[in-house]
Structure 1
Amino acid sequence: MKKNVGIIAPLPYSTDIGPAISQMKEHIKWLSHTHVSGLWFLGTTAEFPYIDLWWKFKAIRELVPYAKKLGFTTYCGVWDAEPHRMNMIARTAWEAGADALFAMTPIFTKVSDAEMLVYYERVLGEIAETHLPLYLYDFPQKSGNQISLDVIAALLGKYPGRVVGIKDSSGDMVRLGELARRFEPFGFTVFAGTNAKVVEARKAGAHGVVGSLANISPELMYQAWEFGEKRAQKILEKEAELILQYDGPRAINAWLGQWRMAGKPNYPHTELSARERRYLFARLRNP
């Protein structure tokens, strides 16, 4: 039977003199009443490069145990420009009870396959003491880099049981299918990072989907994933296009803020204007 991890919500990050812990807990509590199976902490929906290291520690220590008590599988991002900080983040996640870690590729600076392999070997070295499994994180549109299949094969060959999967946010369904076909026999899990291609991702061979719209429309995403409902997919496509007009996470936090499930947007973002909120909320209610 093919593995089915289902829907994972990449948690947005918001502030209130530091992380907006109480608001984010309310959001997690709400998600616990939906078909979301896991939470993805400190990823691109949280806009991780702009979160202070100490606030990352606080968010992990407060939110991961809370999410675990509510039954979520928890995945924590460890990316940092300084490798020793990856070690600190990984240890904090392990101490908080996280189930797995993930690491984005290098960002901004283009790297070769050989350098990509060395980079992930360094990540594995920094997180080794935690004994937590690692998911690769590929988002070439944001990072400027893509993990080649050859690099993945090399990592699986050298580190069996440690590199256990990937979140592929490229939007390339052919590549997604090739990842599943080639590496599934090794127990490798393939997550699709998408809002608008949930049905296509399942057909291509993905084992789960990590999409920011799971934060506001989790049941639509579940219907598209679990049952291939085209109507749900069409609504998700419209919502995805809409939130991108307002920088994605900024729009999601504005929507969640109506119910005190998010604080203020993190630097460098600003809050939506009253006019922007009215337009966004009206369109999301009637996509």
Structure 2
Amino acid sequence: MSKLRGVYAPVVTPFHANLDPDTERFVAHCRWLVDNGAGLAIFGTNSEAASLSVAERLALTDALLAAGVPAAKLMPGTGSSSLTDAVTLTRHAVAAGAPGVLVLPPFFYKGVSDEGLFAYYSEIIERVADDNLAIYLYHIPQMSYAPISLALIERLLKRYPTAIAGAKDSSGDWDNSKAMIDAFAADGFGVFPASESFLSRAMPLGAAGCISATVNVNPAEIFALFNGWDGSEGAALQSKADAVRKIFQATPMIPAMKYVVSQASGVEDWKVVRPPLVKLEEQAGRALMASLDAVDYRIEGYPRS
């Protein structure tokens, strides 16, 4: 059964100008997200996780816990092209008390079979060997080229009914998200579409929430939508969330979100991304802020440095 519900941010990772992770600002950003109703899918795609080492991910997780951020709010991304790295990250997350882990399939080799993906997830589960392990499968075929098929989910659930807890669907294909929900949600499998734009369609069918990049910059409104999609303000909440999402989607999202957080915090280094990504040019940043102003978007209560 899925342990997790709600809206989760694949938390953007701040860096210093020298490209080292900025632990202090990472903790502050996570605290602000939690204060605004969000869970923390640290080390997701929008966290630049593929550009972080295993040691950096472990250290940042430990820093969050040492700062008092509740482990119950964490859904760390622990997938890797290296099986042993994935096991190390998953074992650490479970030992830290995270109630779920988001596990990307190995993404270097292309055209791998369901048999190969089943073996990858099976090895992680068997090697971690912890009854508290709850894996959320990460379906992002446009990046991984290793899709999580319905047949693979069914096979994994049959073999590991307590360890396989749900999935994040980042395909952007509503029909695929709906198929996952229709096939498995009734049995407690937690499906998280990767955009808040699907919330009003997904929640009535039994979705668990969403894991969305823009939760990083719009947590309170997306959390309000999660809680109120079926209320009198539901349509208005969905419309406003959609408007903000569309603006960010029209720009490279990681640099765009970091630009907005830089403006809110007053910290220039928030714009820094690790290569091969490049930060948003100022002209594009100003255009982004103007578009957001036009839909009355504001970041409320962000800590300033």
Shared topology, TM-score over 0.5? yes
Q: TM-score, with normalisation over the residues of structure 1? A: 0.88
- Cα separation, 2, equivalents of 1:143 and 1:27: 27
Q: Structure 2 counterpart of 1:199, which letter?
A: S
2:277 to 266, 269, 277: 269
What is the match of residue 26 of structure 1?
28
Q: Aligned in 2, Cα 1:252/1:126: closer, same or farther, shift over 3 Å?
A: farther
Show the counterpart of 2:219. 218
1:196 aligns with 2:197: yes
- What amino acid maps onto 1:28 in structure 2? C
Question: For residues 1-287 of structure 1, what are the structure 2 equivalents within 5 Å?
Answer: 5-16=5-16, 17=18, 18-36=20-38, 38-66=39-67, 68-69=69-70, 73-108=73-108, 109-129=110-130, 131-228=132-229, 229-258=234-263, 259=265, 262=270, 264-287=272-295
SS at match of 1:197: helix
Quick check: 2:182–2:205 contact (8 Å CA) kept in 1? no
Give, in angstroms, the shift of residue 65 of structure 1: 4.8
Q: Give me the whole-angstrom Cα distance separating, in 2, the residues matched to 1:112 and 1:4.
A: 29
Percent identical = 25
Is contact 2:156-2:164 (8 Å) kept? yes
Structure 1 unmatched runs, 5+? none
Change (3 A) 1:84 1:106: closer
Amino acid aligned to 2:257: I
TM-score (norm 2): 0.84
Per the alignment, do residues 230 and 201 of structure 1 end up closer, same or farther by CA in structure 2, a change over 3 Å counting? Answer: same
Q: Pick closer, same or farther for the CA change 1:274–1:49 going to 2, 3 Å.
A: same
After the TM superposition, which of the residue ranges 125-134 and 267-276 deviates more from structure 2?
A: 125-134
The gaps in structure 2 that reach 5 residues or longer are 296-305
Q: Is the 8 A contact 1:61 1:92 kept in 2?
A: no
User: Structure 1 pair 87/106, CA: closer, same or farther in 2 (3 Å)?
Assistant: closer
Counting matched residue pairs gives 284
The ranges of structure 1 where at least 4 consecutive aligned residues each deviate by more than 4 angstroms after the TM superposition are: none
Counterpart of 1:180, as a letter, is: I
Question: SS at the partner of 1:183?
Answer: helix
Greater shift, 143-152 or 176-185, is seen at 176-185
Cα separation, 1, equivalents of 2:266 and 2:129: 38
The one-letter amino acid of 2:158's match is G
How far did residue 198 of structure 1 move? 2.3
Q: Secondary structure at the match of 1:277?
A: helix
* Larger RCO (CA within 8 A; separation ≥ 6): 1
Distance 2:84 2:13 in 1: 23
Higher strand share: 1
Deviations 1:82-109 (A, max 9, x none): 1111122223323433222121123251
Q: Distance in 2 between matches of 1:212 and 1:90?
A: 22
> Deviations 1:32-67 (Å, cap 9, x if unpaired)?
32122x210111111221112222222121124546
Q: Is the 8 A contact 1:149 1:179 kept in 2?
A: yes
- Deviation, structure 1 residue 4: 8.1
1:172 Cα deviation from its structure 2 partner: 2.9
What is the CA–CA distance in structure 1 between the aligned matches of 2:48 and 2:92, rounded to whole Å? Answer: 19
Amino acid aligned to 1:269: L
Change in 2 beyond 3 A, CA 1:185/1:196:
closer
Partners of 1:62 and 1:260 in 2: CA distance:
23
Alpha carbons 1:65, 1:96 under 8 Å: kept: no
Q: CA deviation at 1:216?
A: 1.0
Whole-angstrom CA distance in 2 between matches of 1:130 and 1:75: 16
